[in-house]
Every structure is written in C-alpha cells, then in structure tokens.
Amino acid sequence: RKRTSLTDIPGPQPESFLIGNLAELHQEQAGEADFRYQAEYGGIARIKAPFGVDMLWLCDPKALQYIYQTSGYSFPKQPERRVLSGLMGDHGLTWADGETHRRQRKVMLPAFGSPEAKALLPVFEHYAEQVTLRWREIIEGSPDRMAVLNVIKLIAPATLDAIGEAAFDYKLGCMDDSDNELAQAYNSLVAGIFASPSKSRLFWTSVAHYLPMHVTEWLYAHLPGRGLDKARQNRRAAHKIARQLLDLKSEALLHSKGSRDVMSIIVKANTSEDAKTKLADDEMIAQMRTIMLAGQETSSNTLSFALYELAKNPRYQDRLRAEIQSMEHSVHERGGTTFTTSDFDSMPFLQAFVREVLRYHPAVPHNYRQAMKDDVLPLSKPIRTLSGKIVNEIPIPKGTRLTLSVAAYNREKDVWGEDAHLFNPERFLDFSGKRGPTVGVFANILTFSGGIRACIGWRLAVLELQAFLCQLVSNFEFGLTEELKRLRRENALVMVPTLEGEPEKGVQLPLRVSFAARC
Ligand code: HEM
C-alpha cells in the first residue's frame, strides 16, 4: 500500500499474483521480454514481483547513468541476488556491498589496470594456440577435413585454464584432463544451476528477500537439490585449490618472488593495507573463487556467440580474417611471431566486431538493484503515466526493487541507431561518438556494467576475446549447422547457448569448422 507512487507507471500485465512478471523475464530467451517492454513502454516500466509487489524495469540511459554512476552506493544489490552471488563466489566482490565492497575493491583494483592486463596477453595467446592445435587434430582426422564441433564445450576448459594462469599463475590443466576435479566443477556450471528455472524456483528465489540473508544462506548451504549440490561441489573444489594458491602466493611474496598474475598483485596490495582495511584469508579465497567464475563463464560464452555470428555472417567472417591475416604478414615482416596489443588496436574491424558482439550478446543480461532511500530517477525521454501526466522523472520510494536491463539498453535506438536490433559491426566503424549519457565502462556498452561496480576484469576480457578470435578466425572457417535453428540464448544469470528441447545437455553451440584459406 505504501508504494502508491509506482502504480501510475505503465507496464505489462503480470502472469499471476504469485509469480508476477518473473516467468517471462527469466524463462523466455534472454532479452525477449525486455525487447517487448522496450518497444511498448520505452525506457521504464512497472513490473510485478510475487504477491503483486511493484518493481521497476528500466533501460533508460539517463536513469541508468544515475543509478550506476551518479548515486554511489545508493542502489545496492538486492539481498536475494547477493545470496546467489555468495553461493557462487562466497563473500567476495560480487557479493559485497557498501563499505565492504569499497574496501575489497580497493585492494583488488591494482591488479586490473591497463599495463597489468597487457602483461597477461601471452597467456591468452598461449591458450588460444592450444585450442587451435586441438581443433587442427580433430579436423585433420575428419572426413572432408570438416568437423561439427560443440565449440563452447571446447572453449570453456581453455578459458578456465587461461584464467587460472592469468589470475593465479597456475596451470589448472582442465584442457588436458576433462576428468580433472576443477574442470568437472566448472563444467556447465551456471547453466547447470540457473538455466530453465521453474516457476516455483523463481518464486522462492524472489521471496527470499523477506528472510534475513543469513537464513537464506543457511538454506542454500543445506537444502537438497541438483543445482545446489553442483554449487556446493564447485565450492569444495575451488576452495581446495584457492587455499593452496593463497599459501603459495603469500610464501612467494615473503621471498620477494611475487609474479605478475592477478592474485600475486592482490596479495601484495593487501600487505600494504592496515589491519582495518586488509582482506582476511577467507575474503582472499572468496576473491579467487569470484574471479574464476566471473572471468570464465562470461568470456567463454561471449566468444562462442562471436563465432556463431561469424558463421551466420560470412561477409564479416571474410573481412575479419583478411584483416587478421594481413596483420600477421606485418608481424612476420617485423620479425615477430605474436600480436601485441597495439596490433589489435590497429585492426579496426576486429575492434568493431568485438564491440558489436559485446553489445548484441551481453553475457549478463540483467543487473538487480534496490533503492536505499526515497529517490528520484531522471529520464532521457518523458513518459505518459497511466493517469495521463507527462513526466521526465520518477520519484521512487525507499526499497523499490529495480531490474536494470543490460540487454535492452544495448538495443536502445536513440543510442545505437534505428538498426539497433541488427548485428552490424560496421556501426562501430563510422560511429560519431555521440550516444547520450555515459553509462557503460567500455564503448558505452552496458555489458560490463558501469560505475563503482563495473566489471573489474573488462580489460582482461577484451584482450582475451581479441587473442582467441585472432587465432581461431585466422586458422578456421566457421559455418552454421541445422541444430542452430534451435539455438536459445538461455538466461541462466549468465547468458548461455543451449538448444531448444535439449536442456539436459547443458551448453551447446555446434558449428561446422574447417581450415581457413590463407590470403
Ligand atoms: C566477456 C566477459 C565479461 C563480462 C561480460 C563481464 C560482465 C560483468 C558484469 C556485468 C559485472 C557486474 C555485475 C553486477 O554488478 O551485478 C561484472 C563484475 C565483475 N567481473 Fe566481470 N565480466 C567479464 C569478464 C570478467 C573477467 C575476465 C574477470 C576477472 C578476471 C571479471 C571479474 C569481475 C568481478 C570481480 C566483478 C565484480 C566487480 C564488483 O562488483 O565490483 N569479469 N562483470
């Protein structure tokens, strides 16, 4: 009854009093409900949570800028979402809020700057090469020198190994041994836990915010269930390795042998903190698990969708390959064997393609926040309320729950042009630079989020995508398969590719792969 001010905002009909609009947002493919709301209501809509509670859904650039950038910590994550983050990454950075978040992020930031990311390029190039060698072997042994590969299943262990080495200077060995405990623990992790949620699961996940957080945490730690078992198994496997790594890093630092991996830098930064701001051992372990998850599923899914777009758009595939192979010639001419980050920067189509993939296929389609106090959201475009008023700001009461639509912002026509729903890398080639308010941390795309909670690893992610794409596109040609007519962009907190009718098989993206011609 208190939340009367939201009732005047137009929005979609809820499916029922118990489930509100949650089913369409989470059971349909990622972004589908969002695109409908965007087309019908513009940048903001009232949606319903269980028990008829009003929430806001939004993709309005000015409102998003206010929430992510301007308001500091005034829009914390929703508690039930934090508990899910805790399930996957303990009390690490994706779980933390307010002062705890500020303290943790300060210790972690020095490891994620531009020079630190650049120093890790050889790691990504190495694992991209390993994937290339594997695929070569498979294709050479296949009839007609063409194989249908479930690319995501083959890329995921490589990106996990890459993050292991980049973040911890440790060879996890998931590519060599798929029975490896850690490889198993991360195999189809988010899809196994969060894909295709039933209505009852959506209901309980949402109403968990009526319970104190520690009670929900206890329930997740003890309730039976295949998804929860998978999360607990992941926790055990990740903790075992994280504990060993933390001891190794601390020992190395004592002997002044710290290396350039992310965790060594964090361990070092932590030693300069005073007792009050220092991260405790369990927080350090939580960061390691957070980085393993945040840095792996997102990258392998994005890379897989990138290969899918190339298969779908042979013209872009040819153009990208020509640019990469021509740059390879220049590298060889100067006596080099691998690309540098400046080489990547000198490939305009690669830059444009990576941006367009990130825009079009955001690995995290929604962010969830709530208002810590009564507030007013500014809007880029006025809306007409149900009572007929034209308003360009929306007063919201303390506690209002917000679904921030990354998927829809990335398709905003005012920002990206009339063809925003078209996959078109060329938009980034002649883009004038005027896109409305600054929202996202990279190219103003919201995929890495923005502001004080923006993805800390975005530079690493972009480098990794570039390194893998250069190797794979230079060596292989990608084509579509019949199965891809059933491709789903599954909303499993992280967006993952699955095939309609085969949810039990987990992530799938079967492509025809053959050797690429050399120009
Ligand atoms: C394509 C790849 C990636 C995408 C799309 C992505 C996306 C995101 C998004 C949307 C958030 C904000 C989540 C929220 O506020 O609820 C985030 C946070 C985070 N990401 Fe990434 N990420 C990627 C790669 C990486 C990599 C490679 C790392 C580390 C090596 C990483 C580490 C983190 C961490 C630690 C956070 C928490 C930041 C904070 O709350 O302060 N991510 N990421």
Q: Are 447 and 75 in contact (CB under 8 A)?
A: no
ipTM field = 0.98
Residue of minimum CA distance from atom 7 in ligand 1 = 448
460 lines ligand 1 (CB under 6 A): yes
Q: Is 278 exposed, middle or buried (0-12, 13-18, 19+ CB in 10 A)?
A: middle
pLDDT digits (tens, 9 = 90+) for 425-473: 999 998 765 678 889 999 999 999 999 999 999 999 999 999 999 999 9
pLDDT digits (tens, 9 = 90+) for 68-98: 999 989 999 999 999 999 999 999 999 999 9
| Mutate-to-test residue for ligand 1 from 90, 290, 298, highest number of ligand atoms within 8 A of CB | 298
Share the mean pLDDT of the chain. 92
- Known binding-site residues equal 455
167 lines ligand 1 (CB under 6 A): yes
For ligand 1, the distance from its centroid to the CA atom of residue 182, given in whole angstroms, is: 21
466 lines ligand 1 (CB under 6 A): no
**222: helix, strand or coil:** helix
Q: Interhelix angle for 226-254 vs 213-222, to 10°?
A: 100
For ligand 1, the distance from its centroid to the CA atom of residue 456, given in whole angstroms, is: 6
Cα Rg of the chain (Å, integer) = 23
Give the separation between CA 53 and CA 55, rounded to whole angstroms: 7
Structure tokens at 44: 């903001």
pLDDT digits (tens, 9 = 90+) for 378-416: 999 999 999 999 999 999 999 999 999 999 999 999 999
Q: Are 61 and 401 in contact (CB under 8 A)?
A: no
Q: Select the highest-mean-pLDDT range: 162-171, 217-226, 268-277, 314-323.
A: 314-323
Q: So what's the pLDDT on residue 23?
A: 95
294 lines ligand 1 (CB under 6 A): yes
CA 396, 400, 404, 408 torsion-angle sign = negative
Range 137-165 average pLDDT: 93
Give the separation between CA 356 and CA 422, rounded to whole angstroms: 10
SS3 per-residue string spanning 192-206: HHHCCCCHHHHHHHH
164 lines ligand 1 (CB under 6 A): no
Q: So what's the pLDDT on residue 180?
A: 78
Q: So what's the pLDDT on residue 172?
A: 84
pLDDT digits (tens, 9 = 90+) for 316-344: 999 999 999 999 999 999 999 999 999 99
Q: Are 282 and 91 in contact (CB under 8 A)?
A: yes
> What is the CATH code for 4-515?
1.10.630.10
* pLDDT of 176 strictly over 90: no
Please name the residues in contact with 260: beta carbons below 8 A apart, sequence gap of 6 or more.
116, 119, 120, 169
- Known binding-site residues for heme equal 455
Please name the residues in contact with 386: beta carbons below 8 A apart, sequence gap of 6 or more.
7, 8, 9, 10
pLDDT digits (tens, 9 = 90+) for 348-383: 999 999 999 999 999 999 999 999 999 999 999 999
CA 138, 139, 141, 142 torsion-angle sign = positive
Tell me the pTM. 0.95
